[in-house]
Amino acid sequence: MNQPDAQTSTPRPDEAEAARLMAVAESLDLDPSDLDEAVHDTCSRRATAINNGGMDDQILFLVAEHGTREAEEIIRATVSP
């Protein structure tokens, strides 16, 4: 039975859609700053959901974003000496 080649570069659907949307943005002559507010609002909603999820969600997020070592540094830095 043939196994798919792991090196084959078939774009995932989200990558293909992102490329399509990039072409749309370019055709509209958008500047990256035109999307700043949309990105900020989206990230703000995500941060609110994480914070509302409690410490478990916050720590999982920090570990996912920064790795265990840096997440621990962030956690320890929040305590006043």
Average of per-residue pLDDT values in the chain = 89
pLDDT mean over 50-74? 97
This prediction has a pTM of 0.67
Cβ-based neighbours of 25, under 8 Å, separated by 6 or more: 35
Exposure on the CB side of residue 7, measured as CA atoms within 13 A:
0
User: Coil, strand or helix: which one is 17?
Assistant: helix
pLDDT number for residue 7: 55
End-to-end CA distance of the chain: 62
